[in-house]
Every structure is written in structure tokens, then in C-alpha cells.
Chains A and B, each alone.
Chain A
């Protein structure tokens, strides 16, 4: 009797699991075979970390669904890191969502090579003709076809705390030499000059890229990466040397190689550091974000990266489009998916700038919108920009980007000489 009970006990548990597993998978199978069309869409703005972005996306989806009978959008939201990992797993099984988010250039390339993303040229020639700021959609172009629709456009500038600058009688520096002077004065007064979170590494890369741009001109780094030039170009070595010069004079906050960008941002926003080089996606923190004290927001200004030894063009920027939308090649609802992507980009343009403080990659009529001063200034800068160099780690293929980022950390940690820094890059790039 007891024997049977024991038997039964074990098996009931084990079988019930199997049955439940079986049943629920049947359900899944049934629900997907309905007559209506479903577009799977994945994005990386959780309600948590990016409330405004998230809300705009929901609104756009609602609008699209109400305009298109019988089409539903099946949404999955992940935070940035998790999004990248999941996209990777999905691609190994060829299970990409119908519409999702991608980054430009180096990130995009393997997906295009593997024929995972579909070309969107017909959209660019049709509905979206002439709607993007020049240079943005091009970053998603490979072999003459465009595979992504950019959503944002960012440029990196140096934000600084005007209150701290005033206190010590400082002006926004226009040259590298003035910057050194500012750093010196701040250090003499025990104020940390520059917030930098170099655990994330692309943050230090911004400093290096700007110095390279000012010393060697807009093309030198890009040429080294696309192999029409060499990374051992004297200008690229000198830029590395200048980075170490800044490190040696304690320009950056203590322990920057172990701090994340978020921590560095906190230091700047809590007035523990006077300057912070970051891209314009941070503008809301200094203008419209109500969670940040008004007093602090009023005290923040920005200046374009200074010239070095009289060289360089202050209208040349580091930046580029951030995420863009892709449509999966194997999508079963490709036409609807493309339509959704196109609809998304058009609605995103205006909503994103007014509601989320994003500078969209689509052309905006700044004059007709009521924007904070700092936005107007940035948009002016963008109009006058002579060049925007795409973030180095985005330009490079994934494995070279890892080398670059590791080398940046070593360079800032003064564990490697500028010459070796250039040599390692050259080796990684020519091994491609």
C-alpha cells in the first residue's frame, strides 16, 4: 500500500510537470496560427530606465495598430546589455524579431553578411525620401544598400559646471593649452577637473578620438580604420601622447579606469567634478529632466572640444547616429514590418525631440518647436558641422573594437606607450 503511494507520489509530480509543459506548449502553437498578422518588435528602452522613450514607443505602436486593422505588434523590451545578448542568441537560431534595433557600421556588418537584415532602400526612395539628416542613414549603408533606419543623432561635447568655473574665474577653454590651464587651476583648488568613467572604455575613446581629430584632421582616424591609412600615423601617436599628458596632470577623477560612465555622470551631476565629455543624449539631464535640481541644470554649459596647438576645426565632431531600426530578412510579415518601421521613424522624429529630448536623425524644423536654449545651440552646431566622425568602436568590426577599447584603458592607465598603442591597433586592423 505504502509502496504504491510512494510510487504514485513521485510519478504524479514528474508527470504533471511533463503534462503542464506539454499543454502550455500546445497553447502557444494555437495562438500563433490566427488569421491576423503579428509583427514582433524588440526595443531597448524599458519603462524603468527610459520612461519617456518607452512611452513614445507605446504611443507609436497604438497609433499604428489603430490605423492598420488586423495587425498587432508583439512587443519585447530589454535593457541595453540584455538586448545585445538576446539579439545574439536569437540570431544563432535565425529567430530575429521582425523589427528590432541595431547599431551602425561595425555592429551591422555581420548581420548583413549573414543575410539577417533586409535592405530598406525602397523606403528611403519612397516614404522616407530626403527625411534623414545627411550622413545618418549612410552609416547603415553596406555595399550600396541601407539596412537600418537611424533614430537619433548625437555629437559629443564637453559639458561643464559654470558655477564652479565662475568661482575660480575660469572661462570655457578654446584650445588645449587653455584646457590644461583650467585643469591646473581646478587641481590647485582641490576640485576634480574632469569626470570620466573609463570602465566602459568608449568614454575614454571619445577623448582620444577628439585629440586625433584636432591634431590630424577629420580623416586620419577614419582612414586608419578603413585601411586607406595607417594607425601608426604620427598624428594618431601624438593624440595618444596627449591623452597621457592629460592623465599625468591629474585631469581626470581619481580611479577613472574603475568607474562606470554612470558613476562619472553622478560625480558631475553632484558637482564633484567640473567637466564631463559626453554625447548629446545626456541633454535632458541638463535641460528638461525635472528629477535634476533646477539650480544645477541652470549652471551647466557646454563647449566644443578645444583645438590643439592651433590645429583642428572646432566644427568637426565625434558622434553619429545611435540605434536604428532593422527589418529581418526572414520575416513572415516583411511588408507590414517595413511599413511599421517607416511609420515609426516618421512619428518618432517630432515626438522624440519634444517629449524625450532626443535629437532625431530625421530633419526637424527647430524654429517651429519650443525647445530649451541648449537644444537650439546644439542644433545650430549640427547645422554648421563640417564633419561628424562616427564613434570608433562603432566603426570598427566587433573584435577590433574590443582591442581598441582594451588599448584605450591601458593608454589611460599609462601601462602602454603611445607607440605601442598605435602598433597594437595597426596589427589588429591589418589582421582583418
Chain B
């Protein structure tokens, strides 16, 4: 048994194609990003080696840390919202009437491209004609805020479409995981007189724990490198109030002609993400996980 399951040729055959692809297309660019970070380069003229200067500057760059804070806030909100997605998935998977239709509806937003979602929410948030303010005014709110223009609100306003956009993604994963639980297990508990809440908490949750942990990592990594909607909807503005690490990096590399510095920021983004992921993996690790 063990001999078959540790056949080196088979392992190589199965894992190498994938490994080769990411080695060439992801790891080489990654190493090059770190390397460009050591250069004074505007992306046009010849580059000049300046050692760690860009990295040192980045660590002292208040704007970078402000954008990092925003990224971390996004990661926090995304992780917390996983609980909501999980609760919804538990309800949907428990065979209530109409759950099939509801599930499909919940998943619709994730089908849209970021361009479409941005156009949509720009109109929802429009201060004078937008859907949101129309509703608020109909409810009697006199002077609803200009969501994307107020520095104190804009960051939270823009989280809403991001969480909205990703709801379907996680519900889809949780739903598939919950449907994977063997029916007899749930049935047996029900016969023993367990309430739906007890079944969810004592049986279903432990069984999808490994999936849940993976989604925590996905949510955090995805949030820390998030770019799309923020760039289109606010461009990181007003004056950096909604800037995140990836949009800051993009602006430096592509708008300010500071490609070397932008690469250094990009590399730091990766390091930060890596550290956070390792911490989260360690914090959520349990004995059962080593079971295999």
C-alpha cells in the first residue's frame, strides 16, 4: 500500500506539469519583481542598481503604510463576512424550500466583470441620482452623504461592492462542501433528536472545517492584493483615502514612472501577505489537520 502511494515517478508525473507552469510564469516574474525593486528605474531608460534604497524608503513611506492599513481593514471585513456567507450556506444546504433558486440568485454578482460592477456601483453611489441616495431621500434623510467623495466614508462605502461581489464565490464553495457531507451522518443525528442548530454546529461545521480554513486564507490573500474595483471606482482617492497596497503600487509603477520603487512595494506586498498567511495558518491549525 505505502509503496504504491509513494511511487516517485507517479508523483513527478502528476505534480510537475503544474509546478513547471507556475515556476516559469509566476516565480520568475516574482523574483524579477524583487530584483527590479533594487533598481532606480523609470521603466524607460536604463536601470541603475541602488541596493536596498527602495525597500528602505518604502518602509518609511507613510502613504504606503496608510494603504497597507486599508488593505488590512479590507482583509478583516472579508474574513468576518465569511461567517455570514457560511450561515447563509448552512441555511441553503439544509433543504429548505426554494434553496436552489436562492443559491443561484446569490451567486449572480460574481459573474459580472469588475468593469461592470464598478459601473453599476458608481451609479448606485452617485450623490444626486444614485439608487442609494434616492432610497435614503425617500426615507426622509435630508442630506445623504456623497459616498465616494467623503474621505471618512469612502473606504467603507467601497467595501460594500467588494463583499457583495465575493459573496457568491464563498457561498458556492461552502455549499459544495456542505453537500459533500454524507447524508446518513446528518440523518442519524436527526433521529437522535438533534435540533437543526445542533446538527449544524456539532456535525456539519467540524466536517467542513478544512474548507473553511482554506477560505480564510483565500479571503485574506485576496484582500491584501485587491485592486480592481477600488482602482476603477475611486482611483484610491480622494487623496489616498481609499488607497490600497496594490493600487498604490500600480500608480507608482505606471503613473509616476517609478517602476523600481513600485516593484519594491509589490515585493513587500507579497512578503506581508506571506507573513500574514503563515500566522493565520499557524493560528488555525489543529491536530486533526495533520490527520492525513
Contacts and interface: CB of A to CB of B under 8 A. Distances in A.
Interface of A: 7, 10, 14, 84-85, 88, 91-92, 110-111, 113-116, 192, 198-201, 253-260, 263, 267, 272, 397-399, 401-402, 406-407, 409-410, 413, 415
A92 B238 contact: no
25 contacts: A10-B13, A85-B254, A91-B43, A114-B44, A114-B46, A198-B238, A254-B127, A255-B149, A256-B149, A257-B146, A257-B148, A257-B149, A258-B147, A258-B148, A258-B154, A258-B238, A267-B128, A272-B128, A398-B255, A398-B256, A399-B258, A402-B256, A406-B240, A410-B239, A413-B149
B257 A110 contact: yes
A14 B18 CA distance: 10
B151 interface: yes
B126 interface: yes
Interface in B92-127: 122, 125-127
Nearest to A270: B129
Given A406-B240, A413-B238, A254 B256 contact: no
B50 to A, nearest CB: 16
Contacts of B148: 199, 255, 257-259
Best-surrounded residue of A255, A267, A409 (most CB of chain B within 10 A): A255
Interface residues of B, number: 34
B147 to A, nearest CB: 7
Contacts of A91: 43-44
B256 A199 contact: no
Interface string B138-162: 0000000011111100100000000
B283 interface: no
B253 to A, nearest CB: 8
B155 to A, nearest CB: 12
Given A85-B254, A199-B148, A399-B258, A415 B239 contact: yes
- 4 tightest A-B contacts by CB? A255-B146, A258-B148, A255-B127, A258-B149
B225 interface: no
A406 B148 CA distance: 15
B149 A92 contact: no
Contacts of B126: 255, 259, 263
A349 to B, nearest CB: 30
A113 B238 contact: no
B254 A409 contact: no
Interface of A is mostly: helix
Nearest to A403: B256
Contact of A413 (B151, B234, B251, B259): B151
A409 B148 CA distance: 13
Contacts of B44: 91-92, 110-111, 113-114, 116
Contact of B45 (A84, A113, A201, A406): A113
Given A258-B238, A409-B237, A409-B238, A399 B257 contact: yes
A2 to B, nearest CB: 14
A255 B128 contact: yes
Contacts of A401: 256
Given A14-B17, A415-B151, A254 B146 contact: yes
Contacts of A110: 42, 44-45, 257
Given A114-B46, A410-B239, A413-B239, A259 B149 contact: yes
A413 B146 CA distance: 12
Given A116-B44, A192-B128, A397-B257, 15 more contacts: A88-B254, A110-B42, A113-B44, A114-B46, A199-B148, A199-B234, A254-B127, A258-B125, A258-B149, A259-B149, A402-B256, A407-B239, A409-B237, A409-B238, A415-B238
Identify which of B44, B255, B257 gathers the most chain A CB atoms within 10 Å of its CB: B44
Contacts of B151: 413, 415
A75 B148 CA distance: 38
Interface in B43-80: 43-46
Contacts of B256: 398-399, 401-402
B37 interface: no
A257 B17 contact: no
Contacts of A415: 151, 238-239
B254 A255 contact: no
A214 B73 CA distance: 44
B41 to A, nearest CB: 8
B235 interface: yes
Contact of B254 (A84, A116, A200, A201): A84
A362 B258 CA distance: 34
A409 B235 CA distance: 12
A258 B149 CA distance: 4
Contacts of A253: 127-128
A200 B147 CA distance: 16
A94 to B, nearest CB: 9
Contacts of B235: 199-200
A245 B8 CA distance: 75
A263 B122 contact: yes
